[in-house]
Amino acid sequence: MESLRKKLLALDTKSYKAYKTLSGIYHFPNFILSIDHVQGDPFATPSRISIRMDANHAGFPYALWQTTSRRIALEDYIGRGVKQAIDQHVKGQRGSGGSGEFAISVNGQQVLMRNAVTVNDQFVEIRLTIGLPAHGRRAAGHEAIAMMLEELPGVVDTALCYHHLDEARVLRHIQSIEDQDALRVWLHQSGHAAFIADGAILPRASGVDDRPLRTDALAFCAPESLAHTVNLPNGGSLRGLAIPLGITLIVGGGFHGKSTLLQALECGVYNHIPDDGRERVVCVDNAVKIRAEDNRAITRVNISPFIDKLPFGRDTVEFSTQNASGSTSQAANIIEALECGSQLLLIDEDTSATNFMIRDERMQALVSSDKEPITPFIHRVRELYEDYGVSSVIVMGGSGDYFDVADTVIMMEAYEPRDVTSAAKALAFPTKPYNHPDRPFYPPFYPPTKRHPDAGALNPARGQRAIKITNRSTHELLYGEHSIDLSGVEQLINIGQTRSIGLMIHYYSQHHSTPDDTFINGLKKVIHHAEQHGLDAFSPYKVGNLALPRLHELAAAINRIRKGQQQ
């Protein structure tokens, strides 16, 4: 600690580059500081540091992190605590550029596996960024002393010592996450697709603010006929709406809360922090939102189960395009979701191509089916469930056609769900079973065609740099020469996931890309590696800004790489 003070004093007013000599390890009374990377100038990406406190000194009882579920929850809690402690202890702005700022990469309403905080039997580690202070372009040594020797120990002491934390709140956080994981196990065991607890708050503060709507939010309440009570490991018995497997329709007038319900289900693949409002809303973890995504690239996807007989005899068994239409993109999104093993498709009419979803009788009479390349989803949705075990939840306020194929119909009325299955079934037209011998032949969904990303697609080089992987935002990834547009990948919810995806694609190309196996199996191995060994396995440098994505979003990024694209 004293050696750091001396170094910083000596650096004062020197050129900013002199900070580079700080790299290394410093012993403080209660922790070890490691300065991992020093920024080149005050306007560059901030410097990276990590702090390790001995496990005995930190004092977290083993029971709080003994399972993976609990450990991820505790790490998340500590990270959010560090953030609060930064607000409390750190002055901020101390000169030019990012001077004076501390930050930790733990944010958002979801609890994800990350690498900003690590708890194990030896230590608690946190990784921060720090804007080393400058006046103009000269090192501000005295400011740096205040940051590193006063503010930092204050943050560490407040957030990393268990006896300084509110023990009841720590436990509540951990137990809530554990209950959410238990709810997903219950879904699996009881044969349900999703669960929405009574009291849940589904609407969000705004389209750009993922926190709960605070005023005028109507809490969710399950209709008796669809209600189930689940016993949670920590939270006692919990009543809520259990969406069964099969085909579920969500109907209702415009602005009555249909899309809000579906969006809560999309996010239900992740755990949420207590007080989010969705911390007791869960979905099977392989649920995928399916939408139309005009303009996306598609590479050798077998969309023939939905689309064939394209004009001029274009092949749809290995369909590629640089610019998909609404219906071809929606078809590809489904086939790719099935390829990843999804067993629940979430579809909203607001973001669907109508001609992909339905084709009414009059249109069938006018345009004969041998002239129509599209087999609408409605003709195949039952088969997907009966033969392949893939359920669907579909928001459809504009057409009653899906009454014929639905198992469950939920009506949203002024944000309240009602079970209208019998009324909808009374209005349904008799239809032939999906496997009736008279039915026209439709190409099969399985097995998925074996395909691999194009040679060169996974090359991370750009210009002079052998590896250039970065991202500006959650929904845009720059990988080598490719700019991958992820704006249609709605279940990608955190920028740390996008960063990890870039690194994981590179890791896949180096370690698991083989013509002997499907590329999805290769990606599964990459995800498995992350779960077993942590996210550091993918980064050549010690960073603290990674979060675990799902297989589906990792695959989605590769699936959207454009052929031969230049920046």
Chain contacts with Mg ion (rule: CB under 5 A): 258-259, 350
- How far apart are the C-alpha atoms of 451 and 86, rounded to whole Å? 48
* Contact range with ligand ADP by CB under 6 A, out of 62-70, 214-222, 473-481, 496-504: 214-222
Closest to ligand ADP by CB, 410 vs 558, is 410
For the CB of residue 220, give the shortest distance to ligand ADP in the complex, in Å.
Answer: 7
Indicate which single residue of 133, 153, 203, 502 sits in contact with ligand ADP (rule: CB under 6 A): 203
Q: Three-class SS of residue 252?
A: coil
Applying CB under 6 A, the span of 11-19, 255-263, 359-367, 499-507 interacting with ligand ADP comes to: 255-263
User: How far apart are CB 394 and ligand ADP at their closest, in Å?
Assistant: 12
Residues 217-236 that bind ligand ADP (CB under 6 A): 217-218
Contacts of 22 (CB under 8 A, 6+ apart): 4, 7, 8, 11, 35, 38, 132
Q: Which is nearer to ligand ADP, 203 or 235 (CB)?
A: 203
Among 2, 166, 216, 370, binds ligand ADP (CB under 6 A): 216
CA 479, CA 460: separation in Å to the nearest integer?
6
For ligand ADP, the closer of residues 305 and 397 by Cβ is 397
Region from 122-130, 252-260, 286-294, 462-470 binding ligand ADP, contact rule CB under 6 A? 252-260
Burial class (CB in 10 A: 0-12, 13-18, 19+), 245: buried
Nearer to ligand ADP, 138 or 258 (CB): 258
Looking from the CA of 371 toward its CB, the CA atoms found within 13 Å total: 6
CB 402 within 8 A of CB 394: yes
Piece of 61-69, 81-89, 171-179, 257-265 that binds ligand ADP (CB under 6 A): 257-265
Distances (CA, A) of 153 to 28, 45, 60, 238, 349: 8, 23, 19, 42, 53
260 binds ligand ADP (CB under 6 A): yes
Question: Of 70-78, 130-138, 215-223, 418-426, which segment contacts ligand ADP by CB under 6 A?
Answer: 215-223
Encode 180-195: b = buried (16+ Cβ within 10 Å), e = exposed.
bbbbbebbeeeebbbb
Least distance between ligand ADP and beta carbon 349 (Å): 9
Q: How far apart are CA 383 and CA 361, in angstroms?
A: 20
Closer of 49 and 201 to ligand ADP (Cβ)? 201
Give residues 139-168 in contact with ligand ADP (rule: CB under 6 A): none
Closer by beta carbon to ligand ADP, 82 or else 420: 420
- Report the residue number, 8 or 262, with the smaller CB distance to ligand ADP: 262
Measured between alpha carbons, how far is 16 from 101 in angstroms, rounded to an integer?
16
- Compare residues 343 and 351 and give the one whose CB is closer to Mg ion: 351
Contacts of residue 489, Cβ cutoff 8 Å, sequence gap at least 6: 475, 553, 556, 557, 560
Which are the contacts of 292, defined by CB distance < 8 A and separation ≥ 6? 326, 327, 329, 330, 351, 352, 353, 356
Gyration radius (Cα) of the chain, Å: 26
Residue 496's binding partner, choosing from ligand ADP, Mg ion, none, with beta-carbon cut-off 5 to 8 A by kind?
none
Residues 380-439, interacting with ligand ADP (CB under 6 A): 412, 415
Give, in degrees to the nearest 5, the angle at Cα 281 between 350 and 354.
15
Out of 180, 259, 328, 352, the only residue in the binding site for ligand ADP (CB under 6 A) is 259
| Distance from C-alpha of 45 to C-alpha of 129, rounded to nearest angstrom | 9
Beta bridge partners of 394: 249, 347
- Shortest Å, Cβ 301 to ligand ADP: 29
Residue 9, sorted as left (phi over 0), alpha (psi -120 to 50) or beta, turns out to be: alpha
d(Cα 418, Cα 402) in Å, to the nearest integer?
17
**DSSP string of 310-335, one letter each residue:** -GGG---TTEEESS--HHHHHHHHHH
Residue 183 near residue 270 (C-beta atoms within 8 A)? no
The CA distance from 495 to 504, in Å, is 14
- Residue 440 as a binder of ligand ADP (CB under 6 A): the answer is no
Decide whether 149 or 213 has the Cβ nearer to ligand ADP. Answer: 213
**Least distance CB 258 / Mg ion (angstroms):** 5
CB of 508 vs ligand ADP, minimal distance in Å:
37
Choices 26-34, 249-257, 436-444, 489-497; region in contact with ligand ADP by CB under 6 A: 249-257
Of residues 257 and 268, the one with the C-beta less far from ligand ADP: 257
Q: Considering only 29-37, 146-154, 228-236, 253-261, which stretch makes contact with ligand ADP by CB under 6 A? A: 253-261
Give residues in contact with ligand ADP (CB under 6 A).
Answer: 202-203, 213, 216-218, 252, 254-260, 412, 415
